[in-house]
Amino acid sequence: MASPYCRCCGKALTDPVSREAGFGPVCRIQNKFNQANERTQDMFAPPRADYEVSLIQGVVCIVDHDNGKSVTNDAELVIQDLQERRLLVGPFSEPRRVIYRDTMGVWDEILHENGKFAGFRPVQEKDRAAALAKIKGGQS
Ligand SMILES: [Zn+2]
């Protein structure tokens, strides 16, 4: 829901992606982290996330098909999948960055450490090429 102010902390939102989401990057990522850490004991819990993985310019790009559990909710197991498929490291054992397009259509990074989920970081782009440019051009 579009809003000029963060619906979580009330700060004025300046960039279009934040305005469209209704949350600033800090609150958006905090919400994701909370979702990822929610342990559902519900036997009727939704199934695993449905997503697509591609390797582009050495970056693992995930698109959430928004069908069942979200990648955000399932981040820990998604990283585990990538680890099992040996996608988290490159040919020289260098760690690969992982970005994903969430159910809002925004690309963010999923952090991993030693093959395990380690959090989220805002990329804050709706276009994959722009997200890749940000990831490749920025700090590691
Ligand atoms: Zn906020």
User: Distance from the CA of 134 to the center of ligand 1, in angstroms?
Assistant: 22
User: Distance from the CA of 23 to the center of ligand 1, in angstroms?
Assistant: 6
Whether the pLDDT of residue 139 is over 60: the answer is no
pLDDT digits (tens, 9 = 90+) for 40-85: 656 666 788 999 999 999 999 999 998 888 999 999 999 999 999 9
What pLDDT sits at residue 68? 84
Determine the Cα–Cα distance for residues 21 and 27; give it in Å rounded to an integer. Answer: 11
The DSSP result for 8-75, as a single string, is TT-PBP-SHHHHHHTS-HHHHHHHHHHHHH-----TT----B-EEEEEETTEEEEEE--SSB-TTTTH
pLDDT digits (tens, 9 = 90+) for 103-129: 899 999 999 999 999 999 999 999 999
User: Distance from the CA of 99 to the center of ligand 1, in angstroms?
Assistant: 22
User: Distance from the CA of 115 to the center of ligand 1, in angstroms?
Assistant: 30
Q: What is the DSSP letter of 86?
A: T
What pLDDT sits at residue 39? 65
User: Distance from the CA of 84 to the center of ligand 1, in angstroms?
Assistant: 35
User: Distance from the CA of 18 to the center of ligand 1, in angstroms?
Assistant: 9
What pLDDT sits at residue 40? 61
User: Distance from the CA of 104 to the center of ligand 1, in angstroms?
Assistant: 17
User: Distance from the CA of 93 to the center of ligand 1, in angstroms?
Assistant: 37
If you average pLDDT over residues 30-39, what whole number do you get?
A: 87
What pLDDT sits at residue 44? 66
Determine the Cα–Cα distance for residues 70 and 47; give it in Å rounded to an integer. Answer: 10
Determine the Cα–Cα distance for residues 24 and 136; give it in Å rounded to an integer. Answer: 23
If you average pLDDT over residues 15-40, what whole number do you get?
A: 90
N-term to C-term CA, the chain: 32
